[in-house]
Structure 1
C-alpha cells in the first residue's frame, strides 16, 4: 500500500457513521478525526449522541451540540450527564436542542450528588422542560431542581416511556404527565410535590406505573390498561398516601407500601394477580384482597422482628395461594435465627408451590442466591435441610462470588434429608 493511500477515507459515510455510533461516546467519535480529514465532521452526523464522559464540561457539551445542530439532521438518542460546572442556565439550551432535533430517547442526569457538585442556589433551582413533540422516551434525573412543564397535553404527543427521578413538581403538572396520549410507562422516583396535594392520574394508555411521590394526600388512578402498579414509600406524614382510589381492571402486578384496606381501594380488579409483592408487615392485608397469584414476593424486614414471630404467624396464617414464592431476606440487621422459622412456617402454610426463590439464604424447589460460606448461610441451610418438609425436593445453591469448598459441600449434603436433591 502506497504512502499516500488512504483507504479509511474511501469508506462510505454511512459505514463510518455506523462505526462511530458503536463507540458510545461523542468525545471518542470526535477524536477519530485524526485518522482522516474526511472524518473530521462526520461524527456530527451521528444519530446517537453520548455526552456523558466523566471529563465532560459544560463548554464541551455546548460545543458538541452546536456542531450537531449545524450539521442538521435528527437524533434518535441524546444522553447527557450534567458536569460539575453546570447549572440550570446551562442545561436549558440542552433541553431546547432536544426539543428541536431529537426524535427518540432522551437521557439526562442532573444528579449533582453523584457528580460531586454542590447544591445550587435557590434562584437557580428551576428548570423549564420545553415541548418535545418527537421524543418517545425520557430517562431524566433532576436532583434539587423544581421542574416546570408546558401547560398542555400536546407538548409530548409521542412520549411512551417516562422515567423521572429527584425533582420537585406541581401536582397539576404531574397529572398532565400521567395523561399524555401515548404514555405506556410512567416511573416516578424521589419526586416531591411543591405542596401537599391530591393527585389524579387518568390514562387510557398507561400500562405500568411506579409511584414514589411524597406529599401526596390522595391518589386517584383511573387506567383501564394498567397492568403493573408499584408504590414505594417510607414512614412519615409526607411520604404515606393517606387515601387511594384505583380503578384498574387489568391489574396483574402489585406492590404497595403501608396498605390500609379502609383507605386504599382497588376497584374493578379481580382477586388473582400475576405477581403480588408484600413490601413490609403493613401490607399483608393485601392477601385478603388478592387471594391467588402466580408469584408471591415477601420481603422479611426488621418490622417483622420488632413485631415478633407470633404476629408473623397470625399475619401469614392464610397466605395468598401461589405457584412461585419469592422470599427476600437481604435486609441488614435481620437476625439469621429469624429466617428459618418464618420460611418453614410459610412452607407449611403454602400448598401448590412449584418453586421457591430465596434471596440470601429457599420449596418443591429452593433456589438460594448469593450463597456464601460465612454469614451463617451454611448453618441456616443445614437447619432447613434437616427439617421434615415434604414439599422440599430440590435445592439449587448459587454462589456468585467463588466456588464452595469441598468440606462445605460435604457438610451441606450430610444434613440433607434423603428425599432432597442438593
Structure 2
C-alpha cells in the first residue's frame, strides 16, 4: 500500500474483534485457559465481563502444588489454588457448564478443603454440567464424591474420577439416575472406610442404555467390589485393568468393538473362555500383559480384529517371541500390530542380532496374515527375541509395507515404575544403532522408519 492510502485508511485502527457478538467472544475465550481469559477483562469496558460467561472451566493443577502433598504443613499452594477456584466460580455467570475439570492435590491428611470441594461440586452441578472431571493428586482421607444431590441433573454425559474417595452406593446411584451418561472413567478410586469395614464385598452393576465408553482402572478392589456386571447395549469401548480377584461379566455388550484388558488381571486372560464371548465382535484389542507367561494360553480366533496392541511387561524376554506369535496369528484380518516392550532385564539381551529360528508351523501361520500391513515396536532396544519377532514378521507376512521402530520409553501401564531410569549410559542411542542394524536384515519392500 502507498503512503496516501496509509494516511487515509483508518480501518487498521478499528477493533473488529470487540464488535463481535458476546456468544462468539465467549467461544473464542474457550480456547485459552481460565487465567488468560480472565486477563481480557483489563482490555476495555467491553471485555470486562465477557470471560465470566465461559462454559469450560479447567482448573489445572499448578506444578508447585504437587510439592505440598508431601509436606502437609506447607499448604500455601493448596490455599492459593482454593482461593483461585472460589474467585472464578463467584464471578461465573454462565447459565450452564459444558466442562468442569478440577486437578487438586490435597495435602495428605488435610481436611480443611472438604467444604471447598463440596461447594465446587455443588456449583458445577447447579450449572447442569455436562462433563465433570475430578482428579486428586493423592487419595484423600475424606470422601470427595458423596452427595447424590450434586449430580441430580439430566445433563451429565461424562464423569471422570481419579483418586477420588466415593461414599457408599453413590456410584450406583449415578448410573441409575444420570440417564444421558455416555462416558464413565474410574482411575484408582476407592470406597470409604465404612464400606471396607463390611465383611462382604459388593457386586457392582453397570447398567445403562446410553453408556458408550467405560474405563475401570485399579478401582474395583479399592471399591471393595467382588464382581462387575456390565449391561450396556450401546457400549463401544471398554478398558479394564484390574485385580485378578475381581470377576467381570458381560451380560449385554453387543456393540462393543474396542476392548483393553490387563495389569495383574492378565492371569484371568489365560483362560481362553474369558475372551471367547467377545472374539467375534471386537475390531480393536489391547492387552497389557503384566508378568504372566502366556505362551500356553489358548486364544480364541478374533475373526474381526484389525488393530492389535500388546504391552508386554516382564522380566524375562524369552516369553516374548512364541507368546506374541500365538496372539497375532489368532487375528486373521489383522492390519496393524503395535507392540510395547517393557522388559526389566531387556538391556542385558542387546547382544545378538542373528534372528532366532521359528518352526515351520509358526512360519506358515505368519504367511496366512494376508491383511497385515503395518508394524510398530515401541521400547525397542535390540532384545534378541524382539529381533527374531521383527525379522520373521517382516520376512514372511506377505503384505507388510511399513515397520516403525521406536526406541523411546513406552508410557507406563498399571504397576510399572520408571524402570528405565535405572539404566546407565545413553541407551537411546544404543537402541537406535541396533535398530539400524535390524533394518539391514529386513527385505527392501518394507519401509522401515526409526524414530
TM-score, with normalisation over the residues of structure 2? Answer: 0.66
Which residue of the other structure, out of 306, 311, 314, is the alignment partner of 1:274? 306
Match of 1:44, SS?
A: helix
Equivalent-residue separation in structure 1 for 2:126 and 2:404 (angstroms): 48
Per-residue deviation, 1:196: 5.7
Quickly say closer, same or farther: Cα 1:294–1:40, change in 2 above 3 A.
same
Instruction: Verify: 1:82 aligned to 2:104, yes or no.
Output: yes
Equivalent-residue separation in structure 2 for 1:353 and 1:22 (angstroms): 41
Instruction: Give the aligned partner of residue 133 of structure 1.
Output: 154
Per-residue deviation, 1:150: 4.6
Per-residue deviation, 1:165: 1.6
Per-residue deviation, 1:288: 5.9
Q: How many residues of Structure 1 are paired with residues of Structure 2 in the alignment?
A: 364
Equivalent-residue separation in structure 1 for 2:255 and 2:17 (angstroms): 52
Which residue of the other structure, out of 60, 80, 84, is the alignment partner of 1:60? 84
Instruction: Verify: 1:252 aligned to 2:272, yes or no.
Output: no
Instruction: Give the aligned partner of residue 50 of structure 1.
Output: 58
Which residue of the other structure, out of 11, 21, 40, is the alignment partner of 2:30? 21
Per-residue deviation, 1:230: 0.6
Match of 1:78, SS?
A: strand
Match of 1:57, SS?
A: helix
Deviations 1:46-89 (CA, angstroms, capped at 9, x unpaired)? 22223226275113212322332xx3511222222215467444
Quickly say closer, same or farther: Cα 1:336–1:215, change in 2 above 3 A.
closer
Instruction: Give the aligned partner of residue 140 of structure 2.
Output: 120
Instruction: Give the aligned partner of residue 198 of structure 1.
Output: 227
Quickly say closer, same or farther: Cα 1:350–1:378, change in 2 above 3 A.
same
> Is the 2:182–2:213 contact (alpha carbons within 8 Å) kept by the matching residues of 1?
yes
Deviations 1:145-167 (CA, angstroms, capped at 9, x unpaired)? 34542536442211222333221
| Consecutive unaligned residues in structure 1, runs of 5 or more | 113-118, 362-371, 400-422
The within-5 A match list for 1:313-352 is 313=358, 317=363, 318-319=365-366, 321=369, 322-330=371-379, 335-352=382-399
Task: Please state which structure has a larger fraction of its residues in strand.
Answer: 1
Instruction: Verify: 1:377 aligned to 2:441, yes or no.
Output: no
Instruction: Give the aligned partner of residue 109 of structure 1.
Output: 135
Instruction: Verify: 1:180 aligned to 2:208, yes or no.
Output: yes
Equivalent-residue separation in structure 1 for 2:17 and 2:324 (angstroms): 63
Per-residue deviation, 1:352: 2.9
Instruction: Verify: 1:96 aligned to 2:145, yes or no.
Output: no
Quickly say closer, same or farther: Cα 1:235–1:342, change in 2 above 3 A.
same
Quickly say closer, same or farther: Cα 1:88–1:190, change in 2 above 3 A.
farther
Which residue of the other structure, out of 205, 210, 217, is the alignment partner of 1:189? 217
Equivalent-residue separation in structure 2 for 1:312 and 1:302 (angstroms): 21
Per-residue deviation, 1:231: 0.8
Quickly say closer, same or farther: Cα 1:353–1:37, change in 2 above 3 A.
closer
TM-score, with normalisation over the residues of structure 1? Answer: 0.69
Instruction: Verify: 1:360 aligned to 2:392, yes or no.
Output: no
The within-5 A match list for 1:278-293 is 278-280=310-312, 281=320, 285-287=326-328, 289-293=330-334
> Is the 1:297–1:326 contact (alpha carbons within 8 Å) kept by the matching residues of 2?
yes
| Consecutive unaligned residues in structure 2, runs of 5 or more | 1-9, 63-76, 196-200, 313-319, 409-426
> Is the 2:355–2:387 contact (alpha carbons within 8 Å) kept by the matching residues of 1?
no
Quickly say closer, same or farther: Cα 1:34–1:136, change in 2 above 3 A.
same
Equivalent-residue separation in structure 1 for 2:432 and 2:344 (angstroms): 22
Equivalent-residue separation in structure 1 for 2:202 and 2:86 (angstroms): 32
Equivalent-residue separation in structure 2 for 1:240 and 1:341 (angstroms): 25
Instruction: Give the aligned partner of residue 420 of structure 2.
Output: none
Per-residue deviation, 1:383: 4.9
> Is the 2:30–2:55 contact (alpha carbons within 8 Å) kept by the matching residues of 1?
yes
The 10-residue stretch of structure 1 (297-306 or 207-216) with the greater mean CA deviation from structure 2: 297-306
Match of 2:274, SS?
A: strand
Equivalent-residue separation in structure 2 for 1:40 and 1:236 (angstroms): 55
